[in-house]
Structure 1
Amino acid sequence: MLGNDYNGEHVEYKNFYNTTGTENGATMAQDIAEVFIQRANEIDTSGELARRFEYLWDAATDPKRPLMTQLRDALSIPVALLENIYTAISTKLVAGLATLLSHPPTALDQAQHRLTVDTLVTEGQKMLFVAHSQGNLFLNPAYDYAKTRLGTNSIAATHIAPASLTLRGPHLLADIDLVINGLRLFGWNSVPEINLVLPTSDTDPSGHTLFNTYLDASRPGRERVKQMAEQGLASLVTPNAAGSRGFFTTMLTWDGSGDVDLHTFEPGGAHVYFSHPGGQVGALDLDNTVANGPEHYYASCNTAQLQEGSYRFGINNYLGATGRTATVQVTFAQGGQPVTRELAVGAERATGGNHDPLPVLTVSVARDANGKFQATAH
């Protein structure tokens, strides 16, 4: 919606992936699926509707074919009965969000987000966080962490249908949003105020979904979201870059004092680490010897320099980090989900660990059928 350029600067889009679930291991999505099946069996005793709960996922991913339309087309069920399913699903969503507010998202998700922030800060990127619904529960800690890493006004936030109790920027909450406003029934009286009046639509009776409600081109929410986002972009100042961007980058951090080293073995045989920071393909352009990291390796985007093959990454507890946990994350210029690993740094090994560091992961670079480089981590 914002395009690829803003005021002459390139805009990139990055997802902060997360996995949320209840304490017993079931995800909220599974809970909603169960609600759908149970409610469908009450409405359609033949069981046919219950077997088609995949329409729920289609509704979440295809705004041109919303759930209500698909159900109406596929089965001869009165609209009033279909709305009963929506009511049940909305109730379950509210309960799930209330649970998330009581039991914050996993530490691993937040550690992954912090490392993504570290990478963006290191590479001199200014950031606008945009979140919808439960995503706001992840936005706040990521935003707060980024503020500790930046000395400039280089981060802003836009909240859409926020389930969070606190905000880091302007928000939008519709009067017809049954899910977020329903949180008040669970005692969450600090849900942000309603500041958007929307007409109802049978494409999304819940009044909550991102695409079918807040970004619906026929209603005013879309333009309001765009205005908030553009105001956020206009407020940002570009921070100084400490490291370079690459075809892929690997970032190492750890949770305390000590010196942990990142080691890269490039396909051509180069061993990149603090004693030899420049390789044939990339370089270690950040080396932390005191605490926490980061250490940062980037592979060149120059196709004449980039090598096909396996890039092996490892870590070495060089000095004073015994008992620490390291986090290593690989991000890709081509996009896609970052790959993150957590592991104990092991015993202090000093120079003895330089040539056989603890293995963490491997990045494979190859050309596709069109001759374009692609990177995957495993």
Structure 2
Amino acid sequence: MASALLSVNANANSCKIEGYTIGFFNGVATTIDEANDGRDELESTIDINQYNGESVEYQLFYNDSYIDGSGLNVLADFAETFDQRTYELEQKQFDRWEAFWDIVSGRQNSSIIQKISATFAWFAGFVLDFTNQTINATITTYLKELASLIDAPETSQTRMQHHLLNDSLTWKGKKLIYIAHSQGNLWVNESYKHVTSQYGYSADNIRVVHIAPASPTLSPDSDYILSASDLVINLLNFTGIGSVPPPNTTIAPSKLDITGHGLIPIYLTHPKSIEKIKASVDKAFTSLTKPEMEDFLFKIEFDYSASYDSLHDNPVYEIVDANKTDDFGSYLRFPSFYLSPKNESWPKKTVDSYIQDEDRLPFRVENNAVVLFDTCKSPNEAMNDIPSIPSQDTYMFVQWRNLKRFELGTFKDIWRSRKMTDRYGLVDETPIAFRDMDDDYFICAGDGDAIELEATQHFYNEEQRQYLVTQHLSGRYDVSARYAVPFQSFHPTNLCQGH
């Protein structure tokens, strides 16, 4: 069976740490179709599908957060009416948009409004019509909800889905560029924290571009784009509801979006903002580094002295057992269970396997001494020609070397070493030295290792598992490699006393 495992195509390494993902976080009250349109428009605008020879993929981080849109509609209607009614104010050298901010902020007695009202008698009535209590309350409620993630069922569901998307991308070692619009910036900040908390990841492996951020907090080393004409986001500052960064560009409101806030009609249409977005993405590409992860699930390296090799047969490598893990353990047998006497005159051992083929963790051997487990694909992923990690949790791996023959004589410098490295670079290196043989001691037993390899997702609940399956996502795995202490008959090379 081992020979079949060794024939796994060396090019089928699904653990390679490479590639980029550009994630898009949509704004509030956006349908899934509208969010996909935004993702597609971003991809078309950025127009990068490969960078430094590595693939660039685009991923939607959808949120269906709902806010009553009546406040936005009222704001848009008022902005359009204000623009039409006050055009003549500019001819009198009044800053009419300063007056606009004062009106929607409830400062109807400000100096600029008083000056305009003194010149245009109709203006005082116009202000009074807008500042009725119902209209102000509607806009204020909308802005407050925009600036926060409401504790609602869809919020916790979105949070779970985003975490699982992030788990899947970080398990693959993707370098990440996340782009968020409007309230999506609150979601992207959560994802940033989740990503940088994962093994192998730091702030060097993720960058964020904030577009029209409704969040007072920007991710570290991030860029942002905010138009001075974005009425929605700038109102958060003017009303005191939220604190957002100062505008860094000016985009004229469109007839398609008088509020100056929309992703596609405003920020992905105007040349100034497109230039800023593309420059920010280019900057992110140049600054991202590869996560501190390995191009394999596990690597086990064996080294032997010449004396050790001369005493032993070639090694046998085998996955002999697998099981699920629960709160009480993995229920694997003791290592000596997997050895049985060989039917020969000299008492050699056979490595016995107690596992179904579909439960074997695939591996290959290089130079007869390096065992590589380079399958990191989940069974959920739709890549049928590439082996997957089985749906078990813990695997027993055995390396065994029988004695060549019974041999008296003098052997010195008998040693071997074992080095185990997992996907996150955690290393367990153990040298094993044996007593020199002389006239009173001789080799009387074979030698080997039993290693428990864990690649598990037992920490996911049933709802999370189902989402991973339906969305063909890998999720992440907890991994570990640990030496299983054997019974006496399985101890390292035994030196037996005799004459």
Tell whether 2:200 aligns with 1:154: no
- Report Cα offsets for 1:274-296 as digits up to 9, x if no partner: xx3359xxx9957xxxxxxxx95
Query: Do 2:163 and 2:191's aligned partners in 1 also have CA atoms closer than 8 Å?
Result: yes
Tell whether 2:287 aligns with 1:235: yes
* Counterpart in the other structure of 1:14: 59
What secondary structure is seen at the aligned counterpart in 2 of 1:12? strand
Cα distance change of structure 1 residues 165 and 301 upon mapping to structure 2, 3 Å threshold: same
The one-letter amino acid of 2:144's match is A
Residue among 250, 259, 262 paired with 1:197: 250
The structure with the larger Rg is 2
Query: Do 1:114 and 1:142's aligned partners in 2 also have CA atoms closer than 8 Å?
Result: yes
Cα distance in 2, alignment partners of residues 243 and 328 from structure 1: 23
The one-letter amino acid of 1:19's match is D
* Counterpart in the other structure of 2:144: 98
Cα distance in 2, alignment partners of residues 135 and 181 from structure 1: 16
What secondary structure is seen at the aligned counterpart in 2 of 1:157? strand
* Counterpart in the other structure of 1:178: 231
Cα distance change of structure 1 residues 121 and 90 upon mapping to structure 2, 3 Å threshold: farther
* Counterpart in the other structure of 2:441: none
Query: Do 2:228 and 2:250's aligned partners in 1 also have CA atoms closer than 8 Å?
Result: yes
Residue among 262, 275, 278 paired with 1:223: 275
Cα distance change of structure 1 residues 6 and 219 upon mapping to structure 2, 3 Å threshold: same
* Counterpart in the other structure of 1:361: none
* Deviation for aligned residue 1:202: 2.0
Correspondence 1:230-309 to 2 at 5 A: 230-239=282-291, 240=293, 276-278=360-362, 296-297=378-379, 299=381, 301=383, 303=385
Cα distance change of structure 1 residues 182 and 322 upon mapping to structure 2, 3 Å threshold: same
Cα distance in 2, alignment partners of residues 17 and 324 from structure 1: 21
* Deviation for aligned residue 1:315: 9.8
Cα distance in 2, alignment partners of residues 226 and 329 from structure 1: 37
Query: Do 1:198 and 1:220's aligned partners in 2 also have CA atoms closer than 8 Å?
Result: yes
* Counterpart in the other structure of 1:140: 189
Cα distance in 1, alignment partners of residues 384 and 53 from structure 2: 24
Cα distance in 2, alignment partners of residues 97 and 258 from structure 1: 50
What secondary structure is seen at the aligned counterpart in 2 of 1:140? helix
Cα distance change of structure 1 residues 9 and 324 upon mapping to structure 2, 3 Å threshold: closer
Tell whether 2:69 aligns with 1:32: yes
Cα distance in 2, alignment partners of residues 232 and 117 from structure 1: 18
* Deviation for aligned residue 1:119: 1.2
Cα distance change of structure 1 residues 4 and 224 upon mapping to structure 2, 3 Å threshold: same
* Counterpart in the other structure of 1:47: none
Cα distance change of structure 1 residues 223 and 103 upon mapping to structure 2, 3 Å threshold: closer
Query: Do 2:225 and 2:248's aligned partners in 1 also have CA atoms closer than 8 Å?
Result: yes
Tell whether 2:116 aligns with 1:116: no
Query: Do 1:173 and 1:196's aligned partners in 2 also have CA atoms closer than 8 Å?
Result: yes
* Deviation for aligned residue 1:200: 3.2
Cα distance change of structure 1 residues 331 and 102 upon mapping to structure 2, 3 Å threshold: closer
Cα distance change of structure 1 residues 93 and 133 upon mapping to structure 2, 3 Å threshold: farther
What secondary structure is seen at the aligned counterpart in 2 of 1:328? helix
Cα distance in 1, alignment partners of residues 191 and 261 from structure 2: 23
Tell whether 2:217 aligns with 1:166: yes
The one-letter amino acid of 1:32's match is G
Query: Do 1:127 and 1:154's aligned partners in 2 also have CA atoms closer than 8 Å?
Result: yes
Question: What is the Cα-based RMSD across aligned positions, in Å?
Answer: 4.7
Cα distance in 2, alignment partners of residues 228 and 90 from structure 1: 36
* Deviation for aligned residue 1:137: 0.9
* Deviation for aligned residue 1:7: 3.1
What secondary structure is seen at the aligned counterpart in 2 of 1:130? strand
- Identity over aligned pairs, percent: 29
- Report Cα offsets for 1:222-273 as digits up to 9, x if no partner: 11011111111211112225678xxxxxxxxxxx988799xxxxxxxx7855
Cα distance in 2, alignment partners of residues 142 and 183 from structure 1: 23
Query: Do 2:147 and 2:242's aligned partners in 1 also have CA atoms closer than 8 Å?
Result: no
* Deviation for aligned residue 1:8: 2.7
Structure 1 gaps of 5+ residues are: 21-26, 41-83, 245-255, 262-269, 287-294, 342-378
* Counterpart in the other structure of 2:93: none
* Deviation for aligned residue 1:156: 0.7
The one-letter amino acid of 1:96's match is Y
Cα distance in 1, alignment partners of residues 460 and 193 from structure 2: 23
Query: Do 2:381 and 2:474's aligned partners in 1 also have CA atoms closer than 8 Å?
Result: no
* Deviation for aligned residue 1:324: 8.5
Cα distance change of structure 1 residues 174 and 93 upon mapping to structure 2, 3 Å threshold: farther
The one-letter amino acid of 1:9's match is E
The one-letter amino acid of 1:227's match is A
* Counterpart in the other structure of 1:350: none
Q: For structure 1, which segment, 177-186 or 235-244, has the greater mean C-alpha deviation from structure 2 after superposition? A: 235-244
Cα distance in 2, alignment partners of residues 260 and 329 from structure 1: 23
Query: Do 1:330 and 1:340's aligned partners in 2 also have CA atoms closer than 8 Å?
Result: no
- Report Cα offsets for 1:16-58 as digits up to 9, x if no partner: 12221xxxxxx32xx2279869x99xxxxxxxxxxxxxxxxxx
How many residues in Structure 1 have an aligned counterpart in Structure 2? 242
Query: Do 2:380 and 2:472's aligned partners in 1 also have CA atoms closer than 8 Å?
Result: no
Query: Do 1:32 and 1:89's aligned partners in 2 also have CA atoms closer than 8 Å?
Result: no
Q: For structure 1, which segment, 206-215 or 176-185, has the greater mean C-alpha deviation from structure 2 after superposition? A: 176-185
The one-letter amino acid of 2:56's match is V
Cα distance change of structure 1 residues 90 and 202 upon mapping to structure 2, 3 Å threshold: farther
* Deviation for aligned residue 1:314: 10
What secondary structure is seen at the aligned counterpart in 2 of 1:10? strand
Q: Which has the higher contact order (CA 8 A, sep 6+)?
A: 2
